């Protein structure tokens, strides 16, 4: 089928022509429970698809009457269909660099099963190939044991393949083969001091490495710098496998906010695949600043990027639409336990970036977690807005974990969107809980968000800081639970509210609301056929929902109909 033709007409809209009224459907799905997630949140029995778009929705009789001689018809046998799910904060591009030999532990609730998965993958690798787990999990999610993997266990997984298992941005576990290729001794003299990556190795009182690396994000950065280079062939393989994995979870579009350590070549490799029509996942992405840079001169580099690049020059598959999530670290790059303390010149530098973005028609996405940071960002945006109106540019805050009612009011007044994340579902928040206590139960407060009147959506912050399964996120949003069953979020949503926040509102933030996020005539035919009914299954089964088939632009890209 031909791709949907969409032309960027402004920073805020895409338009395309509707199919001819005389067009016969290519595909009709009937006999189902099709949840439109449009403004009326209707349920219909059937949908007709032509040329990659929704031609019509309605009851079985009226839709099947549209069939032509070559129309394929598929009986859904009562299955539920949702619009393709959209993640508003997912570091897909970075993930593809090591995906070809990675194991994903998203949603795995048993430590024993995780070890089995590692061993199964290791058996498929050539000798010497690295085995990765690049985040997306934490030991807290396991119900059988919260113990970290040991050096001995990982040596049993593979004695010849270096293993690097990253848990969120907290720590990592490695095997003896990893020590060998790094030239770092497993056994050292007690009290011996090491520098760099070797200094991140945790040792016992006898100087023997435990297999654990600590040091948070700086350690992860050092470890990645020591990874073997990724060839174009390996990454292309990883891109295709990652898209298939995402489609298998029901994801059809992601908003990628850049991130630490992405190769410049990655963007070009994705562009080649997009040009060749090989995408099965829609990707909107960003330009960013130096994540670790804290010099005012780094802000000017971002301004130069803004002034020499034009947004919205891609298509509905691959499009550069924003600046961020990181553009000037001293101004906004906080976390759950650390605030920022910018100097006046840092605030001025950030304002220069914002003004340049507004004047050039760029959307801006800002990482901000603590209330103090959120207030600072919103107040700075308000200053910029006095001379460079930003509402039409759909600027956003991302994470916004501790955002309260006053901040939601400010965001609504400015037209700033908010991207909340489901990160709490995997755990690993011990330090934040010690610091903030019961406040973490309202991190975020989704009921305040829902009642605010501001535009917001649910994302994950995958693939390192969080898991990426949208049904796990929907389960968390409706139950407030972590994967081990602990209640970690006090204010939750209804199923309908959560679904809207993982589809329609995310499409708006990505400038795609005219063709994504709902099942309605003229929209892209991005659909997910489920193995059980999202709206009626016991709420604790939501995390276990799996697609029977995922359709993108009218084409089955996962499963079968």
Task: At 65, list the tokens.
Answer: 């009457």
- Let me know: does 35 contact 499? Beta carbons within 8 Å: yes
User: To which residue do tokens 């490695």 refer?
Assistant: 174
Task: At 389, list the tokens.
Answer: 């109106």
DSSP per-residue string spanning 183-214: T--SB--TT----GGGGGEEE-TTSBEEEEEE
At 259 the pLDDT is 85
Task: At 444, list the tokens.
Answer: 């975020």
At 18 the pLDDT is 44
- Let me know: does 514 contact 461? Beta carbons within 8 Å: no
At 290 the pLDDT is 79
At 206 the pLDDT is 96
Mind listing the domains of the chain with CATH numbers? 1-84+517-561 (2.30.40.10), 98-225 (3.10.310.70), 240-516 (3.20.20.140)
Closest CA to 425 of 398, 449, 444: 444
Q: Give all strands (DSSP E) within 124-183, no chain letters.
A: 131-134, 163-167, 171-174
At 361 the pLDDT is 97
- Let me know: does 366 contact 317? Beta carbons within 8 Å: no
The model's pTM is 0.94
- Let me know: does 124 contact 100? Beta carbons within 8 Å: no
Within a 13 Å sphere around the CA of 230, how many CA atoms are in the beta-carbon half?
A: 27
Provide the sign of the torsion angle of the four alpha carbons 222, 223, 228, 234, taken in this order.
Answer: negative
At 281 the pLDDT is 98
| Region class of 434: left (phi > 0), else alpha (psi between -120 and 50), else beta | alpha
- Let me know: does 101 contact 129? Beta carbons within 8 Å: yes
At 141 the pLDDT is 98
Task: At 516, list the tokens.
Answer: 């994504």
217-264 per-position pLDDT tens digit: 999 999 999 999 999 999 999 999 999 999 999 999 999 999 877 888
All residue ranges of the chain with pLDDT < 50 are 1-20
Please return the burial class of 292, using the count of CB atoms within 10 Å of its CB with bins 0-12, 13-18 and 19+. Answer: middle
At 49 the pLDDT is 98
Which residues sit opposite 286 in a β-bridge? 322
At 22 the pLDDT is 54
Pairing relation of β-strands 46-50 and 53-58? antiparallel
- Let me know: does 36 contact 57? Beta carbons within 8 Å: yes
At 5 the pLDDT is 30
């Amino acid at each position: 089928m031909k791709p949907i033709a969409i032309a960027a007409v402004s920073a805020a809209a895409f338009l395309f022509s509707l199919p001819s009224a005389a067009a016969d459907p290519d595909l009709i799905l009937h006999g189902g429970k099709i949840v439109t997630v449009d403004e009326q949140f209707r349920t219909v029995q059937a949908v007709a698809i032509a040329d990659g778009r929704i031609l019509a929705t309605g009851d079985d009789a009226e839709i099947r009457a549209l069939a032509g001689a070559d129309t394929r018809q598929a009986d859904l046998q009562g299955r539920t269909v949702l619009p393709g799910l959209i993640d508003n904060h997912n570091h897909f591009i970075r993930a593809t660099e090591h995906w070809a030999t990675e194991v994903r532990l998203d949603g795995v609730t048993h430590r024993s099963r995780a070890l089995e998965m590692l061993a199964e993958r290791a058996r498929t690798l050539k000798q010497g190939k690295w085995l990765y787990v690049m985040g997306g999990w934490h030991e807290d999610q396991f119900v059988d044991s919260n113990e970290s993997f040991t050096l001995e266990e990982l040596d049993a997984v593979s004695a010849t393949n270096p293993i690097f298992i990253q848990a969120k941005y907290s720590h990592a576990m490695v095997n003896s083969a990893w020590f060998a290729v790094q030239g770092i001794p497993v056994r050292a003299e007690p009290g011996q001091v090491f520098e760099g990556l070797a200094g991140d190795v945790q040792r016992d009182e006898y100087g023997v490495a435990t297999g654990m690396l600590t040091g948070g994000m700086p350690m992860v950065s050092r470890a990645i710098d020591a990874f073997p280079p990724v060839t174009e062939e390996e990454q292309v393989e990883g891109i295709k496998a990652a898209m298939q994995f995402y489609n298998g979870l029901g994801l059809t579009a992601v908003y990628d906010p850049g991130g630490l350590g992405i190769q410049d070549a990655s963007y070009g490799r994705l562009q080649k695949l997009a040009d060749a029509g090989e995408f099965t996942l829609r990707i909107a992405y960003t330009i960013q600043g130096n994540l670790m840079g804290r010099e005012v001169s780094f802000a000017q580099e971002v301004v130069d990027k803004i002034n020499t690049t034009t947004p919205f020059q891609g298509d509905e598959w691959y499009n550069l639409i924003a600046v961020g999530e990181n553009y000037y670290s001293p101004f906004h790059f906080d976390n759950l336990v650390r605030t920022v303390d910018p100097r006046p010149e840092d605030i001025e530098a950030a304002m220069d970036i914002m003004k340049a973005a507004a004047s050039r028609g760029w959307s801006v996405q800002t990482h901000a977690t603590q209330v103090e940071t959120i207030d600072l960002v919103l107040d700075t945006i308000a200053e910029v807005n006095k001379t460079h109106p930003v509402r039409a540019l759909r600027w956003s805050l991302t994470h916004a974990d501790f955002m309260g009612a006053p901040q939601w009011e400010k965001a609504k007044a400015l037209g700033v969107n908010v991207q909340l994340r489901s990160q709490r579902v995997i755990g690993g928040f011990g330090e934040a809980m010690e610091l903030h206590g019961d406040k973490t139960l309202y991190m975020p407060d989704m009921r305040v968000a829902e009642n605010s009147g501001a535009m917001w959506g649910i994302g994950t912050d995958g693939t390192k800081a969080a898991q990426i399964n949208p049904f796990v996120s929907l389960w968390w949003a409706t139950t407030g639970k972590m994967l081990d069953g602990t209640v970690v979020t006090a204010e939750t949503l209804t199923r309908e509210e959560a679904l809207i926040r993982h589809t329609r509102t995310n499409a708006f933030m990505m400038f795609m609301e005219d063709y994504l996020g709902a099942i309605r005539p003229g929209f892209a035919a991005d659909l997910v056929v489920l193995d059980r009914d999202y709206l009626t299954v016991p709420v604790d089964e939501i995390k276990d929902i799996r697609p029977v088939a995922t359709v993108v632009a009218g084409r089955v890209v996962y499963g079968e109909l």
